[in-house]
Copies of this chain bind each other. A is one copy, B any other.
Amino acid sequence: MSEDTTPDIVLSLEIDDPALADRLATLLGSVAGLRLAGPGETANATVVARDPRVMPEDIALTQRELDVLALMAEGASNKMIARQLNISVHTVKFHVGSLLDKLDATGRTDAVAHAARRGVIEL
């Protein structure tokens, strides 16, 4: 007579590895106080396990490059970035160029995507 005050926690699974997903579903499905989400149901929490992509040590970015990168992720143009950081557009381009090199990107959009993937920045 106490469960009504604290309903089951609903969990959804987003596991790439089928074997792991199966084990987790079995284990979690038999825990009192929580259950797995049904189709279309909104879960309280999600269990995620992405494929073990290479999470190399953080790329060595200077503070200035991080500043520029953050503003790039906001969709700022070089001109806007220059204004924000009180530097010239040419300097912004310089840092952007360095970022493209270090992040192995072909353009600013690619750079932001790569940085987000690697956890260098948060979207």
Contact = CB atoms under 8 A, between A and B. Distances in A.
A9 B47 CA distance: 12
24 contacts: A9-B23, A9-B27, A24-B45, A27-B31, A44-B49, A46-B47, A46-B48, A47-B47, A47-B48, A72-B109, A74-B110, A74-B113, A75-B105, A75-B107, A75-B111, A109-B109, A109-B112, A112-B112, A112-B113, A113-B116, A113-B123, A116-B116, A116-B123, A123-B123
* SS of A interface (majority): mixed
Contact of A75 (B31, B46, B47, B110): B110
Interface of A: 6, 9, 11, 15, 20, 23-24, 27-28, 31-34, 44-49, 72-75, 77, 105-114, 116-117, 123
A45 B28 contact: no
